[in-house]
Amino acid sequence: MPQSGHLAALALTEITLMPTERQEKRKTTLNPRRQPMQQRARERTQQILEITARLLDEVGIDDLTTILIAKELGISVGSLYHYFPNKHAILFALGERWLDEMTQAMNDIETIDLNTLSLEQFVDAAVDRMLHVYRAQKAVLPLAQALWSIPELRDLDIQHDTLVITKLAAIFKRLQLKGSKSELERIGRVYLEATHAVLLTIVSQKTVRSKRSLDDLKSMILMLLSNHIDQ
């Protein structure tokens, strides 16, 4: 049905405001109930995150509930809600912790002295540093899936990708890879997607296959960078 000018204007205003309103609502529902100030509260918050990560690995995202988390903690759901308002808020906190650890890893990779290493040695060091983050994170595969698939958590996934690609592009420039900033970022995206997919596989493998997969990943990354380096 056609709208009058006044109604159309109101509809346009509502559409314009909706993203901001959704962002504010999402921010509210994902924020912890309170920032832990006392040592005991901080320890309880970390315990909640550790229990959630373990359960996420054991039962998966669909069967993970605040009731199950509270039961494992030996507290009531009401007590759990004193710290986090819902399941997604806990997963968001896990995602923030993952992002913090990946930020530190990328900062460490940035400080590698490229003048003293061959390209192969750089790839070894860079991939190993990222692998350390993947191995340290419990339930890394279901957490990665949650960040990608749950709308409330997508912002963290985007922040992660932007962080890694931006850092890699700057490193590639120092390595004298050919191309504009956008081209180096494109190579960074390929690097990120390849390492992310294979590292998730590597941390799930418990045999010699893990070492072989790591060697193959490093060979692929070395070839990728070698193809674009300015000789």
Residues 150 and 42 grouped into a single domain: no
DSSP single-letter state for residue 4:
P
How far is CA 119 from its chain centroid? 26
Same domain, 105 and 125: yes
pTM of the predicted model, to two decimals? 0.80
Claim to verify: residue 135 and residue 161 sit in the same structural domain: yes
**Boundary residue ending a domain (48, 80, 112):** 80
Say whether both 192 and 163 belong to one domain.
Answer: yes
Neighbours of 218 (CB within 10 A): 18
Domain's final residue, options 45, 80, 115: 80
CATH number at residue 218: 1.10.357.10
Please tell me the predicted confidence (pLDDT) of residue 89. Answer: 95
Pair (19, 102) in one structural domain: no
The predicted pLDDT at position 7 comes to 36
Instruction: Tell me, yes or no, whether 152 and 177 share the same domain.
Output: yes
pLDDT value of residue 181: 96
Number of structural domains found in the chain: 2
- State whether 66 and 177 are in the same domain: no
CB 83 within 8 A of CB 48: yes
27 shares its domain with 52: yes
The total number of residues written for the chain in this structure? 231
Same domain for 108 and 58: no
Mean pLDDT by 10 residues, the chain (231 residues): 40 39 50 63 91 93 94 94 93 94 96 93 97 92 91 93 97 94 98 96 88 96 93 61
**Residue 53 pLDDT:** 94
Residues 6+ positions from 132 with CB-CB distance below 8 Å: 105
199 and 161 in a common domain: yes
**Domain check: are 121 and 51 in the same one?**
no
65 vs 63: CA distance, rounded Å? 6
- By residue range, what is the domain housing residue 40? 5-80
Which of 35, 59, 80 lies at the terminal end of a domain, its last residue? 80
Say yes or no: 120 and 217 in one domain.
yes
Cβ(162)–Cβ(231) below 8 Å: no
